[in-house]
Structure 1
């Protein structure tokens, strides 16, 4: 979504009115993922719908800020989260003032949510031991139907179709529950190309199978060609076993973890690189850090061996969360290794990276200067502390009593205060 302004105009529409089940689903299942603010925004937008037309007259974004109590930034973040989980589709019309249309989507049913490979996995990770208790809210009582006789009316019991008459009875168009599907972003076209070579056919897969394949492909970042092999391994009597596929995808992800960071670690920004290598050792090192990816730098540091999965995850967090330049991250890696005895503690590197982000460090040279200043300060602090402890030991040895600290010791303490 474009950056919102208070002077922008927005309108809300929907294809349904949120019912009690949908309301509970949003609060109990979606809220742990998107947070309280995004949930409140979704419910606020629903409350503005006219019950007859399911639309709202145009208003200024400033009204939405006042209703929700959110800043523009909070409002923007909440909309992004709602769009990401498929609860809102946003459209903009370019005029003198931007005119936004927020199309509210129906939340998945509780069963659809639980069967969703991505959303359900995220919910489990977020709720942990509270997951089962939350899911139990939506479980229904299972009735033994053996003692019952079915009396459901069939289609022909209700409708009579006359093909040759002018007025043909048509089925009522009931309110549709429309969702903006997350899995649509995973294209199955490439998946179906060449599956004949694996003795598979498109006819073997129904819509549910395709949805599972798409969800697992997005969740574990598996491309369509690799997914073909995993699906082949998960076929039992020419039918896709979804549980086996999920297990195979998890195993593949764990085994191929270093390769999964290709998009994050194997790239280096060309915008802030030197055109040529300098003559001094510092210039050569700057050129090196500007032209090597964080992944290859970690590989160099381990003597050409594959970087540890834990180290890759730490650096991935810095790259994606703080969005520092890859060259700056390289300096951050070197500074952390030097300070922390050749290890990459997650808390340390994220804290130092956050400091550099606030200082707007964008080039390798700026990062090197900042890293040197930090290490020099830390070393000075260490030496001062060593001097302090030595002086205190001397004072303690010269005094006959340890119960009272005399004026010399107090003066020494003041010196290092």
Structure 2
């Protein structure tokens, strides 16, 4: 089925703009599904063998082509069980018209890397015509200045969005760090992080795989004297950062090995739960969790951000580092201590929370073997006041007293600390009764 009418020049988009990105099989599958819809005489489904015959490719190639269409935003797939058969329904989405294609930052950048600069600009000059900038003042009057109704509809007078096309999958990014960074530099947040700029930043992160500190560098580089984000300068900065890390690696769409029955493995052990949490939350959330839900201080956030940017640590690694330093320093966050360990981890090229946890454990074991005194990589006894709520049993209610009221509560807290210490030392924690949560 078709979601909406296609643009009149959609075939030009498929041939010249989409085909270099997703290949001939995917484009041919799209066109086959589109014309097959017209041949359907009834609602009875056909087998995929029909598509295999039309395209003259095996079923696994049909499946790969389908995934490319889904990923690029040209197809939605629905699956349901009917009696003894599995029925797939394909909803065809409209491609961008050629002029709209070049308004999408990620797709246009991908096309440029795929076909080369000269050919890209030739296509852009042919298909994308910018509106003249010297049209004068826009004096068009609004709906409510011409018409009057008893109950005006918000939807009726709402202007149509410029790109009211099929929704494309875009990465969700936590902009809280960038907001804090801009505020610290007295840069107007609303002027920089507009809706269009947020979309552009999200797309560049997805395209180039940038870390948060790299995005901040690119944004600051591309800001004009009037604190306006120069989009072309920002794209160039992102690309330069990518090249500095990956050298001659080309930017191109590559296929992931996706299995139809691919499932996400749930964390089973205490350590896996901790690592998963450290991989997904932001350092700001971690600080607030470790402080019992209280708001993180500006001083701590500034120290973390500066260390992240200077040492180039990803957020999950920074989470492990913050957790490590807090436990070592009796819940005090020392910037000097952060920098000392961060420089070591940066040289070790640690990229994930799991790698950081394993590295911390291996370093601790090395020092424990030959040193009697505590070193910068040995955990000190854990504080008796605070245990992060998210590290406790998540299936139990989180109604823990903030003040230790009796001896039983003290014993439970000590059990929690013993388990955490066992994880960090690489030893299995003894089995304990967690009835108290």
The structure with the largest alpha-carbon Rg is 1
TM-score by length of 2: 0.46
TM-score by length of 1: 0.48
More helix by share: 1
